[in-house]
Amino acid sequence: MPATPPAPAGAGSTLQALTDWVAEVAALTRPDAIHWCDGSDAENAALVARMEADGTLVRLNEQTHPHSWLHRSHPDDVARVEHLTLVCTPQREDAGPNNHWLAPAEAHAKIDALFDGCMRGRTMYVIPYCMGPIDSPLSRCGVEITDSPYVVANMRIMTRMGAPALARIEREGRFVKGLHSIGELDPERRFIMHFPEELTIKSYGSGYGGNALLGKKCHALRIASYQARREGWLAEHMLILGLETPRGETHYIAAAFPSACGKTNLAMLIPPEGYREAGWKIWTIGDDICWMRPGADGRLYAINPEAGFFGVAPGTSRKSNPNALATIQSHTIFTNVGVTADNQPWWEGIDNGQQPVVDWRGQPYDPAVRPAAHPNSRFTVSARRCPSYSDQAEAPQGVPISAIVFGGRRATLVPLVFEARDWTHGVLVGAAMGSETTAAATGQVGVLRRDPMAMKPFCGYNFADYFAHWLSFDQPGAQLPKVFHVNWFRKGADGKFLWPGFGDNLRVLEWMIRRVQGTAGAVETPIGALPRPGEIDLEGVALTPEAQEALFGFDREGWCREFGSLAEYLAEYGPRIPEALRAEQQRIAAQLQE
């Protein structure tokens, strides 16, 4: 072990707490060099050149996809690993049954033993970053230390990274600490640990985005949700879109869906032809994370803490999401996709007439062996490249939220859309969310699980306290958004989706906005308000009577069973569950029995 850490490249920091922490990490990990990232074009070009030289990045076709690269991760490192993701609070009950827990002292000791000497022969990169617009009071800063240049390149896209962020950190004197090493990429030596009370993250043994880009799920959700509870705001797994009406009014909607359930598609939605001709527009603020805070007028105002998209590639096509496809035509890092003979990126569902020749593992493509692209393959790209990008994404005050939408994958029971009666009911609707699992996390796909507010993998503390925090926003003078639930994934007896989805989802959003304005009718049921027949514009949508009944109907017997299951779920949180939420469940269950 050297007597002193290696001399840093770059300017370093004037903030003593940051300088001391970097020196402490260097003494533990023992890198060959330290580089303070400034976020400059020159720095990025040098990093990319280094990764091209060692094969970390493969340059794609410059004619079809200029300034774009392919990265192939280790085959055992392709998704979030929830069973190795820990929340480390002094008291186990503060982490809650929704998290895997380890006592902080034991957790630090366990992961620091892995970090010991792990950066020998590597460069240690110090990445100052800002989550949210650099001048927004809603934004929060962090510093990630990593030995992965791939992480640096992605963090440059996904956050406001570099000199401006460092200046804000030095001005404020506070930051979230994130320590990451790819280690040996050994699944048996892999942990993603969060210390909410210390505002600290430690991640070892993975290079996958959700585990390694510490500004993303680790900071912007797990740590930020804890910060938000202490400071009186919300950090949520939600897209933010602006819906502009033909009259020129723009309403902002925040929507929570589990990973790989269509957040990016909805955030970049292109209206159906008739709606476009009438003047409807969708503006994209963000596709994954939303931070909301009450404004002086009592409304909730939201920012997207991210600066880019880390989207799921498979299924992205001109039909499903033409805006996303246009966004990733240049200046994009693709991870674990296939490639064509002329070195273009390819994935299942792209429907571009091309054929892959090499799969995501770098082997000759054979559909009998594996798909060309991993089901959770990704693209990383700046949000500014999106055709529907809104400059309001950089508004320091955020955008006012008119409606909050919850939704998941439910093949049966749950109708296309319903509206919560009030805020307390809306919190219960979010808490009750169920969804079939997807490839965004390791484990079995297609299993139904409760995923409250789409935050099951991401809430940094006990869900019972999280529900109570949501309920606390219902104060005198609050002008809270209306709450809705959607289900784009209802299936018929033949196993096919009943609702066309994609651009036609705007028909549902229109009804929501008219409900906000008080101009749309609804049928009251125990589970909430459903659209009256004719209230949702179905012109050009071919639905059989059976499909309409399933999408817009109410199955009392099925919902009785659902609310019995929900009571059992809430009981898992014991006496910490808010009494108002328990009472709301019992009220609706009693109505269903009448």
The residues annotated as belonging to the active site are 261
**How far apart are alpha carbons 536 and 140 in whole angstroms?**
40
Residue 561 among known ligand-binding residues: no
Q: Say if residues 109 and 115 touch (Cβ distance below 8 Å).
A: no
Q: Which of 565, 563, 569, 568 is nearest to 586 (CA)?
A: 563
Residue 154 among known ligand-binding residues: no
**How far apart are alpha carbons 303 and 383 in whole angstroms?**
13
Q: Say if residues 288 and 519 touch (Cβ distance below 8 Å).
A: no
Signed CA dihedral, 254, 478, 223, 427: sign only: negative
Residue 502 among known ligand-binding residues: yes
Residue 338 among known ligand-binding residues: no
Q: Can you read off the two tokens belonging to residue 139? A: 């934004």
The residues facing 192 across adjacent strands are: 85, 203
- DSSP states along 355-396: -EEE-TTSSBP-TTT--SS-TT-EEEEEGGGSTTB-GGGG-T
Residue 217 among known ligand-binding residues: yes
H helices, E strands: number in the chain: 17, 31
The C-alpha angle with vertex 531 and arms to 510 and 293, in degrees rounded to 5, equals: 55
**How far apart are alpha carbons 291 and 303 in whole angstroms?**
5
Q: Decide: helix, strand or coil at residue 266.
A: helix
Residue 208 among known ligand-binding residues: yes
Q: Can you read off the two tokens belonging to residue 203? A: 């991640």
Residue 264 among known ligand-binding residues: yes
Residue 26 among known ligand-binding residues: no
Beta-carbon count within 10 A of 276 CB: 14
Q: What phi and psi values does residue 484 have, to the nearest 5 degrees? A: -130, 160
Q: What phi and psi values does residue 456 have, to the nearest 5 degrees? A: -55, -45
- What percent of the chain is helix, strand and coil (3-state, nearest 5)? 35, 25, 45
Q: Can you read off the two tokens belonging to residue 343? A: 């070195």
Residue 35 among known ligand-binding residues: no
**How far apart are alpha carbons 549 and 222 in whole angstroms?**
40
Q: Say if residues 233 and 244 touch (Cβ distance below 8 Å).
A: no
Q: Say if residues 560 and 593 touch (Cβ distance below 8 Å).
A: yes
**How far apart are alpha carbons 238 and 287 in whole angstroms?**
7
Residue 376 among known ligand-binding residues: yes
**How far apart are alpha carbons 301 and 398 in whole angstroms?**
5
Q: Which of 363, 282, 273, 281 is nearest to 75 (CA)?
A: 363
Residue 191 among known ligand-binding residues: no
**How far apart are alpha carbons 45 and 34 in whole angstroms?**
18
Residue 260 among known ligand-binding residues: yes
Residue 351 among known ligand-binding residues: no
Give the Å distances, CA to CA, from 519 to 317, 402, 426, 522, 552. Answer: 35, 15, 20, 10, 19
**How far apart are alpha carbons 32 and 406 in whole angstroms?**
48
Q: Say if strands 33-36 and 123-131 run parallel, antiparallel, or are unpaired.
A: parallel
Residue 98 among known ligand-binding residues: no
Residue 259 among known ligand-binding residues: yes
The C-alpha angle with vertex 226 and arms to 223 and 228, in degrees rounded to 5, equals: 105
Q: Say if residues 481 and 404 touch (Cβ distance below 8 Å).
A: yes
**How far apart are alpha carbons 150 and 182 in whole angstroms?**
10
Residue 496 among known ligand-binding residues: no
Binding residue numbers for Mn(2+): 217, 237, 288
Q: Which residues belong to the annotated binding site for substrate? A: 80, 208-210, 259, 376-378
The annotated binding site for GTP is made up of 260-265, 378, 409, 502-505
Binding residue numbers? 80, 208-210, 217, 237, 259-265, 288, 376-378, 409, 502-505
